[in-house]
Amino acid sequence: MDAGPQTNDSFADALKPGTELLHGQFRIEKFLNAGGFGMTYLARDSLDRIVVIKECFPSSMCCRSKGNVMARSRQHQAEFDAVVKHFGAEARRLSKLQHPHIVGIHQVFEDNMTAYMALDFVRGRDLLDTIEDPKMKLHPRDVKDILLRCLEAVHYIHTNDVLHRDISPDNILIDGKGNPVLIDFGAAKEEATRASRALSALHVVKDGYSPHEFYIAGSTQDASSDIYSLGATFYHVLTGEAPPDSQARVSAIAADRPDPYRPVSGKFPQFEDAFLHAIDKALSVFPPDRLQTAREWIELVDTERRRSAALAQAELDRQIELSISRLVKETNQAVEADIKMQQVKQAAERKEAQRLQKLVQEQQRQRKKTLDELAMLDDFEFQEEQQRARELSANRSANQAHDQMNGTDRKKKRTLLSRVLPFGILRGTLKGNRRSDYL
Ligand SMILES: Nc1ncnc2c1ncn2[C@@H]1O[C@H](COP(=O)(O)OP(=O)(O)O)[C@@H](O)[C@H]1O
Ligand SMILES: [Mg+2]
């Protein structure tokens, strides 16, 4: 936003080199700039590193007295206190943002009865200096690269519910490696103008860069407002000047006159059509006609990223396809191996069953053979016994006849016979191998 005129008063009120802040933690080296809302200094921290210090110094309502910043009058006191409070709160909110293309805030503190923030020092120059320097010719590739990095930063702040509100070539620093860094967030200034009647007179717009809604008190400001300012910034990079201010454009449209804006599409052959078209679209007067998000803009412009994303996707698809076919092959191999193993196992089991069957058959055969042999033995013994019984019976008959003839005591002889006769039968029983035992 318009920093306001740098009056001699502003310079006079600036902290002198060597002034210490926060009990000696920072030492002012050099005054850099005075805006309507504050002063910027180069300083060194306690570790002797260069930092940038921003001091809340709304010059229209305050002055410095013995180092301290105080309201110019009693009527201004409450407003001044409110502005200091907003400055500190906004600085603390911004200190939570961490992005390579957003200036880092590493300390927020109060001293001299006002608020301060200590920022990382970005060694380089701002984009305005760069494009205005005839010796510095930015290559289209560099322009595109700077834009894409700025868009990444803008996307980041928007997803963190922060609007920059003051994007312009002088608020983009380009460091030694060509990286852009966004500085000078305008939200604290916006809050300050709301909190103070004295400040509401200050311009919170930057002609050419601010969208028309910034000129209307209480209007809706959203992501597309920052998109407009970034569009205006890159319009300036391409054409060498800021676009016509949005108020003039709205007035022309309202009066049915042609929009004084001259589109960049088709005028810069060194840039792709999509790149130029995106700038024109970002610079649409009415918010709904603009690109709505930084992400949308990135996708439109970044053909290389789109191409490499498509290539990466194709490669991913190829890898997935390869993995799937490898998986299918491995599964098939595993299934085949499993089937083979099952078959081998089944064959072994069959063989074992056959072996056992043969064994049983052999055992049965052996058993039968043994039985038959035993039976034969049994029969033979039986026949022997029968023979012996027959012989005994014949003997007995012969003896009876003899006794009858010789008058021998019969009773005595029968007793002798009965001792001999059952002996063969008893013998077979004791051996336990009678035929009936095996059948
Ligand atoms: N972090 C920083 N590193 C280097 N220079 C800076 C840094 N912040 C601010 N400056 C310098 O100080 C100038 C004013 O700072 P800025 O934050 O834009 O305040 P304002 O525009 O409100 O006065 C910038 O244009 C830039 O030259
Ligand atoms: Mg600035």
Structure tokens, 288: 């709904």
Residue 325: predicted pLDDT: 84
Give per-residue pLDDT as tens, 391-424.
888 888 777 776 666 655 555 555 554 454 444 4
Residue 198: predicted pLDDT: 65
Residue 11: predicted pLDDT: 76
> What CA–CA distance (Å, rounded) separates 128 from 174?
10
> What CA–CA distance (Å, rounded) separates 280 from 302?
16
DSSP for 31-47 reads EEEE-SSEEEEEEEETT
Query: Which ligand 1 atom is nearest residue 184's CA?
Result: 17
Topology of the domain comprising 1-122: Phosphorylase Kinase; domain 1 (3.30.200)
**Residue of 17, 66, 14 whose CA lies nearest to 35:** 14
CATH for the 123-182+205-301 domain, from 3.50.50.60, 3.40.800.20, 1.10.238.10, 1.10.510.10: 1.10.510.10
Residues of the chain falling short of pLDDT 70: 1-10, 188, 191-192, 194-203, 304-305, 402-439
DSSP for 257-321 reads PPPS----TTT-TTS-HHHHHHHHHHT-SSGGGS---HHHHHHHH-HHHHHHHHHHHHHHHHHHH
Burial class (CB in 10 A: 0-12, 13-18, 19+), 91: buried
H or E stretch covering 154: helix 140-159
Give Cα separations from 354 to 264, 298, 357, 367, 393 (angstroms): 93, 78, 5, 20, 57
CA-proximal residue: ligand 1, atom 21 (nearest): 3
Residue 415: predicted pLDDT: 52
CA of 183 to the centre of ligand 1 (A): 7
CA of 54 to the centre of ligand 1 (A): 8
Q: Decide if 166 is catalytic.
A: yes
> What CA–CA distance (Å, rounded) separates 27 from 22?
9
Residues contacting residue 30 through CB under 8 Å, at least 6 positions apart:
17, 41, 42
Report pTM.
0.70
Query: Which ligand 1 atom is nearest residue 39's CA?
Result: 23
Domains 1-122 and 123-182+205-301 share a fold: no
Q: How do the domains of the chain map onto residue ranges? A: 1-122, 123-182+205-301
> What CA–CA distance (Å, rounded) separates 117 from 63?
19
CA of 167 to the centre of ligand 1 (A): 13
- Catalytic one among 13, 111, 126, 166? 166
Kindly report the CA angle at 214 between 297 and 207, in degrees rounded to 5?
85
Q: Which ligand is nearest to the CA of 3?
A: 1
